[in-house]
C-alpha cells in the first residue's frame, strides 16, 4: 500500500514522532536529523494521510462548499475566487451541487460534516427548519444569505438594484418590471427590496414570479412583461435575463428600442448576447474569497463574534438598456429622455 510515517521512520532510523515533527514542527528537531528525515520522506514519496491526521488534530484542512446549481455560471465564477483563496490557505475544497434542493443540501452538510473543517453555503436553499437541524454540525459560513447569529458574507443586492433603478430612471423609464427569482431565495428578497427606490422616481413597478432562476423562465416571462406595458425589465439574474432577450428577439421586439433589459451577476455570457446584456456585478469572485477568509477567521477563534461582511456593488452598463421609447403607453411623457446608455 501507500507509504506511511512508520516506513519513513524505519528508513531514516528514527521514531515516528520525530518524522512527524521534522515535517510539521521543523524547529523542534535538530537540523541534521530534519534534513535526513525530509530527504527520506521525499525519496519514498511520503504523503501524510489527512484522514488519520484529522482524526487526532480535529482539523482536516478540507473545506466544504455547497452551491445550488453549478450550471448557473455565477457559481463557477464565485468558486474561482473561493478555490484560489482556499488553496492559498492550504485547504482543499470539497464541492457539491444540491440542484436547488434544500433537503439535498442538508443531506450534503451531513455527509461533509466530519470530513471538513467548515462549510460555506452559497445561496442556501434550506428552510429555517432544515437549517435548525444542521447548524451545530460544523462551522458554517453563509454566502448570500443572512442567518441571525451566524457568520455570513453578503453582496449588496439591494444597492445594486437601487443603482439599476436610478439608471433606468435617468433614461426616462416610468414603468419597469421585475422578475423574481426562487421563492425562498434570500438574495431575491434583497434585490426586491431595492425596488422601493422606484417610489422616489415615481416609477411604476410590475412584479412577476417567483421563477426558477433559469433561462426558460426568462423565455416565459418575456411575454408577460411585454403585455404589462413596461419599458424596462430587470431579471433576478443574468440567466433569466438572457432568456428574456432570446424571447424578445424571437418576437422581433427591438432591444433596447422598445424595451430595456437588465440582469444580475455579470456572467461571461452576458457579454455574448446581442445586444450585450446590461448586468449588475455584485463581485462574485471577491465574495468567494471573503467567504473563505470569514470561515478561516471563525476556525481560528471560535469565540469570535459572528462576523457579517457586506460587500459593495458595482453597476456594469452594457448595451441592452437604453432610453424609454417616447410613446410609452403608460406615460404622458413628462420629464423626457435625458439619459444615455
Partner DNA sequence: TTGAAAGCGATACCAT
Partner DNA sequence: ATGGTATCGCTTTCAA
Looking up cell 421586439 gives 253
- The listed partner (a second copy, DNA, none) that binds 207, CB under 5 to 8 Å by sort, is none
Name the nearest CA neighbour of 116 among 244, 292, 254: 292
Q: Are the C-beta atoms of 229 and 175 separated by less than 8 Å? A: yes
With CB under 5 to 8 Å by kind, the binding choice for 142 among DNA, a second copy, none is none
Cα–Cα dist 221/242, whole Å: 11
C-alpha 248/C-alpha 251 separation (Å) is 5
Residue from the set 35, 42, 43, 47 that interacts with DNA by CB under 7 A: 47
Give 143's contacts (C-beta < 8 A, 6+ positions apart): 78, 120, 121, 122, 123, 152, 153, 154, 287, 288, 291
Q: Report d(CA 54, CA 63) in Å as an integer.
A: 13
CA distance 47 to 50: 9
Toward a second copy, which CB reaches closer, 223 or 312?
Answer: 223
Q: Between 31 and 148, name the residue whose CB sits nearer to DNA.
A: 31
CB 306 within 8 A of CB 174: no
Does 49 bind DNA (CB under 7 A)? Our answer is yes
73 binds, among a second copy, DNA, none (CB under 5 to 8 A by kind): a second copy
* Residue numbers at the binding site for a second copy (CB under 8 A): 2, 47, 49-52, 54-55, 60, 62, 70-71, 73, 76-77, 79-80, 83, 92-97, 108, 110-115, 137, 215, 242-243, 245-246, 249, 268-269, 271-274
110 binds, among DNA, a second copy, none (CB under 5 to 8 A by kind): a second copy
CA pair distance 164, 37, nearest whole angstrom: 61
* Options 35, 42, 43, 57; binder of DNA; rule CB under 7 A: 57
- From the list a second copy, DNA, none, pick the one residue 337 interacts with, judged by a Cβ distance below 5 to 8 Å according to partner type: none
Of 13 and 329, which has the nearer Cβ to DNA?
13
The one of DNA, a second copy, none whose footprint includes residue 62, by CB under 5 to 8 A per kind, is: a second copy
Backbone angles phi, psi at 335, to 5 degrees: -75, -50
The residue written with cell numbers 434544500 in the block is: 102
H-type alpha helices, 277-321: 284-300
C-alpha cell recorded at residue 297: 477567521
Give the residue with the Cβ less far from a second copy, 259 or 324.
Answer: 259
Q: Which is nearer to DNA, 33 or 337 (CB)?
A: 33
Which one of 52-60, 245-253, 272-280, 332-340 is the stretch in contact with DNA (CB under 7 A)?
52-60
Positions touching DNA (CB under 7 A) are 1-2, 4-6, 13-21, 23-25, 28-30, 32-34, 46-49, 52-53, 55-57
Amino acid at each position: 500500500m501507500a507509504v506511511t510515517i512508520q516506513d519513513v521512520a524505519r528508513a531514516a532510523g528514527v521514531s515516528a514522532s520525530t518524522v512527524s515533527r521534522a515535517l510539521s514542527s521543523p524547529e523542534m528537531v535538530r537540523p541534521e536529523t530534519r534534513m535526513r528525515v525530509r530527504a527520506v520522506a521525499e525519496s519514498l514519496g511520503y504523503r501524510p494521510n489527512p484522514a488519520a491526521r484529522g482524526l487526532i488534530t480535529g482539523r482536516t484542512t478540507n473545506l466544504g462548499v455547497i452551491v445550488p446549481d453549478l450550471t448557473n455560471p455565477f457559481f463557477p465564477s464565485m468558486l474561482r475566487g473561493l478555490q484560489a483563496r482556499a488553496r492559498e490557505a492550504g485547504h482543499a475544497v470539497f464541492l457539491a451541487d444540491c440542484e436547488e434542493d434544500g433537503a439535498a443540501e442538508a443531506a450534503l452538510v451531513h455527509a461533509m460534516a466530519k470530513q471538513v473543517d467548515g462549510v460555506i453555503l452559497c445561496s442556501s436553499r434550506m428552510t429555517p427548519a432544515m437549517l435548525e437541524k444542521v447548524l451545530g454540525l460544523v462551522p458554517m459560513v453563509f454566502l448570500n444569505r443572512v442567518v441571525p447569529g451566524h457568520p455570513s458574507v453578503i453582496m449588496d443586492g439591494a444597492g445594486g438594484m437601487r443603482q439599476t433603478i436610478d439608471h433606468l430612471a435617468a433614461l426616462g423609464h416610468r414603468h419597469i418590471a421585475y422578475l423574481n427569482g426562487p421563492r425562498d431565495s434570500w438574495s431575491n428578497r434583497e434585490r426586491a427590496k431595492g425596488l422601493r427606490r422606484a417610489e422616489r422616481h415615481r416609477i411604476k413597478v410590475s412584479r412577476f414570479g417567483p421563477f426558477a432562476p433559469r433561462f426558460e423562465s426568462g423565455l416565459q416571462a418575456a411575454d408577460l412583461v411585454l403585455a404589462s406595458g413596461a419599458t424596462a425589465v430587470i431579471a433576478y439574474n443574468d440567466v433569466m435575463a438572457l432568456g428574456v432577450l432570446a424571447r424578445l428577439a424571437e418576437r422581433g421586439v427591438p432591444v433596447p428600442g422598445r424595451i430595456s433589459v437588465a440582469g444580475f451577476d455579470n456572467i461571461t455570457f452576458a457579454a455574448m448576447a446581442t445586444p450585450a446584456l446590461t448586468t449588475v456585478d455584485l463581485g462574485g469572485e471577491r465574495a468567494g474569497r471573503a467567504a473563505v477568509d470569514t470561515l478561516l477567521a471563525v476556525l481560528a477563534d471560535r469565540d469570535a463574534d459572528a462576523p457579517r461582511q457586506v460587500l459593495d456593488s458595482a453597476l456594469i452598463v452594457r448595451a441592452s438598456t437604453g432610453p424609454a421609447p417616447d410613446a410609452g403607453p403608460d406615460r404622458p411623457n413628462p420629464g423626457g429622455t435625458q439619459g444615455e446608455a
